[in-house]
Amino acid sequence: MAPPTKDSSSTAKEALPEKKKIPFSKGSTANRISNSSIKHAPCCPRGTKFSWSANMHLSLANTPRPQVGVESPELMHMNLTDTKGNTYRIVYPGRGKMDFSSRQWVSALDKWRRQFINRRLNKNNDGESQANDFRPHWTEPEQEYLLHVIKEWIKKNECSISMRHWEEIAGIYNARFEGTEAQAGWRCPPAFNGKGLSAGGKLKLAHTLPARKATAVRSQVYRWPRVREAMDAELRKIEQEDNGDDDDREDVDLEAPDSDDEDALDSEDAYEPVDDAPHQPQSSRLEA
């Protein structure tokens, strides 16, 4: 018996298979879900902690970076083990296949891997960070010291600070702070940036303070409103003192000459003669 043929005139539609729903827990939208290529989905439950001690297979010493022209599909996923021993499989989102001959594609894959590893393993304050490009943020002790140095410098020199003088101030700063340890928890004072005045914060990671260039010291000082206001106040104080000295000086009233040939100081009142001095002919000018 022949199987029944499908009625082409039928308007009935076959039921489409339901899309498989992938459960995920709440968390940062910048992460990736385990075993999925869905973008902006969490890779693990919120609060999950990772450390390098359980994930050394992801270090550059053990896993090379993707390179153009080198087929490396294994780099499109990562296995991360948290501090409790749970393993999560992280899949590169957006592409099921990878064109390793494209520099743009390989660069995007490398950036994704470095960003993910940096966020999960280098910024968890466990002392195992492998980041070698940590930005040494300016701290409150540095601000207080520079504020003191700058105020004393202005009081001593009674002038504004030129670029060559910033070299001197940077040398004083480096003699005090270069090579010292900035501790986690130190405050970072508010400073102006491209978006306005920051709220400040605290250091999350301890780090060694480097030598600061004069241009960096000068730039940071002008970003700190507190230090800049103190500089302006010291300069205004010096300016007011200078103006006060000018006001205290006695003005000498010089008699206006009667003619262009007569000097204003030819008058007998221009100086007081000394009684015991020998008589000398009166000069037409007073000698300084």
The mean per-residue pLDDT over the stretch 276-280 comes to 43
Residue 268's pLDDT is: 37
Our measurement of the distance from residue 145's CA atom to the centroid of its chain's CA atoms, rounded to an integer in Å, reads 18
Residues 6+ apart with CB under 8 A from 121: 50, 51, 52, 55, 58, 128, 129, 130
Rounded Cα distance between 130 and 195, Å, is 30
> Beta strands 196-197 and 87-91: pairing type?
unpaired
Stretch 58-83: mean pLDDT, rounded?
Answer: 88
- Could you tell me the pTM of the whole model? 0.45
Q: Kindly tell me if the per-residue pLDDT of 61 is higher than 60.
A: yes
What's the average model confidence in pLDDT over 244-268? Answer: 43
Sign of CA dihedral 31, 35, 38, 42: negative
Residues β-bridged to residue 197: 192
Confidence at 130, pLDDT banded by 50, 70, 90: low
Report pLDDT for 246. Answer: 56
104 pLDDT band (50/70/90 cuts)?
A: very high
